[in-house]
Amino acid sequence: MDYQNWGPRGISAPAKAELPQVAVERGMVLEDVQSGWVGAVTRVEKSGGMHVVALEDRRGKSRSFKLGFGFLLEGQPIRLMPPAPRAAPSGAAAGRTASGSVKVAGQRAQVAKASRIWVEGKHDAELVEKVWGDDLRVEGIVVEPLHGIDDLTAAVAAFKPGPGRRLGVLVDHLVPDSKESRIADSVMASPGAAGNVLIVGHPYVDVWQAIRPAVLGIERWPAVPRGQDWKTGILKAFGWPHATKEDIGLGWQKLLGAVRTYADLEASLLGRVEEVIDFLTVP
């Protein structure tokens, strides 16, 4: 069947040349005529020289389709086109930052305050920067990677937290009875920590998992066998190169590239980062 010329219920649609051309937009609800798949647009990317759109259905499942003919928008056949170029915002009301806050035109970054956000590693820092970077520059808050939290107690003591010099720490896999929770309890019991240090965390093994699976076009993150390096196992499951540190770095950049706004992240991370920012910026 040449589905490109078919409309709903098998009714012949206008010829291709007559179909309205509609630029794809995030959140647009479309139906693929051939498969009957209905879903909201979650991402658009260029793959193999062609544009591909991912549609997420009401159950959270996602499938990808080539842009062009064969789509229905509000029951009407259209030709789905690549995203329209975005004009640069001209003022505070013209747009929002990736975190969802109002973008302020002409706002200069503030001089860095003494307070800091610490995260476990480079990937955590890059993800926080991509989504909350604009907000943090306005507030003058710097994000620093720790490269692990085994020595967190000593690092906090050396930081010397106090009023006007607060510290927010975002920890991976902060769940009850874990090594991370015991370290956090030890830090919070140390002198000067109360009221000046906030340790929060997400339940994921790695911050990679804070990216919503649907954003990547998958139903769920792959399960990695016990004893195997988690990042290596994830890249292997995706069929991506995974043998070297460079492979892991390139794999992370692919994943990070799929993140556009806060809506692409799990709520369990969003709430914790916002909590830290509030702790460091609200008197």
- Listed in sequence order, the residues at least 6 apart from 25 whose beta carbon sits closer than 8 Å to its beta carbon are 41, 83
What backbone torsions phi and psi does residue 261 show, to the nearest 5 degrees?
-140, 180
| pLDDT score recorded for residue 181 | 92
Q: How confident is the model at residue 224 (pLDDT cuts 50, 70, 90)?
A: very high
Reported CATH class of domain 3-81: mainly beta
| pLDDT score recorded for residue 5 | 35
Contact indicator for 76, 239 with CB cutoff of 8 Å: no
| DSSP at 98 | T
Interval 229-282: pLDDT, tens: 999 999 999 999 999 999 999 999 999 999 988 889 998 898 999 999 999 987
| pLDDT score recorded for residue 49 | 63
Whole-angstrom distance, CA of residue 1 vs CA of residue 34? 9
Whole-angstrom distance, CA of residue 175 vs CA of residue 199? 12
- Listed in sequence order, the residues at least 6 apart from 56 whose beta carbon sits closer than 8 Å to its beta carbon are 39, 40, 42, 62, 214
Query: If we measure between CA atoms, which residue out of 98, 85, 138, 21 comes closest to residue 265?
Result: 98
Contact indicator for 15, 72 with CB cutoff of 8 Å: no
The domain locations on the chain are 3-81, 92-211+259-281
Q: How confident is the model at residue 89 (pLDDT cuts 50, 70, 90)?
A: very low
Q: Whole-model pTM?
A: 0.63
Query: If we measure between CA atoms, which residue out of 192, 202, 123, 136 comes closest to residue 160?
Result: 192
| pLDDT score recorded for residue 10 | 35
pLDDT for residue 94 is more than 60: no
Interval 122-154: pLDDT, tens: 999 999 999 998 888 888 899 999 988 999 999
Q: Which fold has domain 92-211+259-281?
A: Dna Topoisomerase Vi A Subunit; Chain: A, domain 2 (3.40.1360)
Here the tokens at position 252 are 């992370």
| pLDDT score recorded for residue 83 | 80
Here the tokens at position 187 are 């830090």
